[in-house]
Structure 1
Amino acid sequence: MWLRDEEHYQIVKTTWQEKDTSITTRLSHTLNSLHKWGREKFGIIPQRIKETQEELQTLNDQTNNTVYMHNIKKKERELDELLQCEEIWWSQRARTMWLKHGDKNTSYFH
């Protein structure tokens, strides 16, 4: 999900260019920076989806003219992006759960 956002590259580049630090320190700082950024950027996706849906509904309720149509299209693209991010998150989460619990090779799964 992070790879869809161009900002991740800049965070890694900036953190990795710290002078006078060991590789393990750079890796640790990069990981911490990415986790913080991920929480701030993607941690509130359900809340952002709800807010965007409400804003879109408000725009749809207003009179139809070209200014509102442009804003509606913009909000629809934003909502599509958020929904796609949420779908990727759930897909990654489901895979993580499967890897954690596995199928244990029991007869149930055969």
Structure 2
Amino acid sequence: MERIKCRLGLANGLIVPYVGRKGGLAMLWAREVDLEIKSYSQNHIDAVISDTERNFKWRLTGGDDRIYLRLDRAFANLEWCEKFGDMRVHHLPDSTSDHCAFLVSASVTQRQSRAKRFHFEAMWVKNAECKSIIKNSWGMDSDLGTLEGVMANLNRCAAELLKWSSNVFGQIPKKIQTKRIELNSLTLQDKDGALSTKINSLRKEINDLLDDEEIYWGQRAKAH
């Protein structure tokens, strides 16, 4: 949940911890939102939001009291829809849960795209190939004695690292989900322990990916 909080850049939140392998709820909100928690339990969180611009208060309640039923939907009455016609509910799938988190936010107007700033990912240094990528791409056909040459090297090195990262790491949450499905399938097939070596190897791969994911979002949390 902390990863989702960092990913969305939300400052405030109430997290109800899970018990054993069941339950667990969270409500996160931006710093500028006037939200008051009224009550909470293992099965629900109830809050009131005050909107001073519209001179309107509304109730936000979330929960799950049927663990066998997935209701990944949001409901609102007509009065709320009329006052907040620009609001949308977005599903945020996460590799650590079979439920989706909800993001309630205003419709985002399309903005002109701009180039993303390059970030050196801390998780790259865990891979021995990272050093080779930098070594092979640095100093190629560029004069390091000039500012233009140094900038050309930096840009080329960044491009090579991003291309390498895309091939090696790819979409980490999707990889985690795919490997968890594979692990579940192998576990069900392993009646006599013959697949234990493969299962343990797959578990290690998943744990390594989870570590990479934690490093990835931890680095972005520090940046904010």
1:21 aligned counterpart, secondary structure: coil
| Structure index of larger Rg | 2
Instruction: Give the Cα–Cα distance (whole angstroms) in 2 for the partners of residues 6 and 64 of structure 1.
Output: 37
| Cα deviation code 1:67-110 (max 9, x no counterpart) | 4000000000000000000011110111112xxxxxxxxxxxxx
Tell me, yes or no, if the aligned pair for 2:183 and 2:203 is still in contact at 8 Å: yes
Match of 1:21 in 2: 142
| Cα RMSD after superposing both structures | 1.6
Bigger share in strand: 2
Picking from 43, 46, 69, the partner of 2:196 is: 69
Instruction: Give the Cα–Cα distance (whole angstroms) in 2 for the partners of residues 84 and 78 of structure 1.
Output: 10
Tell me, yes or no, if the aligned pair for 2:176 and 2:209 is still in contact at 8 Å: yes
How many residues in Structure 1 have an aligned counterpart in Structure 2? 96
TM-score w.r.t. length of structure 2: 0.40
Give the structure, 1 or 2, with the largest relative contact order (CA under 8 Å, sep 6 or more). 1
Tell me, yes or no, if the aligned pair for 2:190 and 2:196 is still in contact at 8 Å: no
Instruction: Give the Cα–Cα distance (whole angstroms) in 2 for the partners of residues 5 and 37 of structure 1.
Output: 11
What are the equivalent positions in structure 2 for 1:1-110 lying under 5 Å apart?
Answer: 1-18=123-140, 20-23=141-144, 24=150, 25-97=152-224
Instruction: Give the Cα–Cα distance (whole angstroms) in 2 for the partners of residues 95 and 66 of structure 1.
Output: 44
Instruction: Give the Cα–Cα distance (whole angstroms) in 2 for the partners of residues 62 and 10 of structure 1.
Output: 40
Instruction: Give the Cα–Cα distance (whole angstroms) in 2 for the partners of residues 54 and 44 of structure 1.
Output: 16
Moved beyond 3 Å, runs of 4+: 64-67
Give the drift of 1:7: 1.1
Moved more, 74-83 or 41-50: 41-50
TM-score w.r.t. length of structure 1: 0.78
Instruction: Give the Cα–Cα distance (whole angstroms) in 2 for the partners of residues 88 and 9 of structure 1.
Output: 19
2:195 aligned counterpart, secondary structure: helix
Aligned AA (1:31): A
Moved more, 62-71 or 27-36: 62-71
1:10/1:67 CA distance change after superposition, 3 Å: farther
Instruction: Give the Cα–Cα distance (whole angstroms) in 1 for the partners of residues 216 and 191 of structure 2.
Output: 35
Give the drift of 1:66: 4.6
Q: Identity rate of aligned residues, in percent?
A: 32
Bigger share in helix: 1
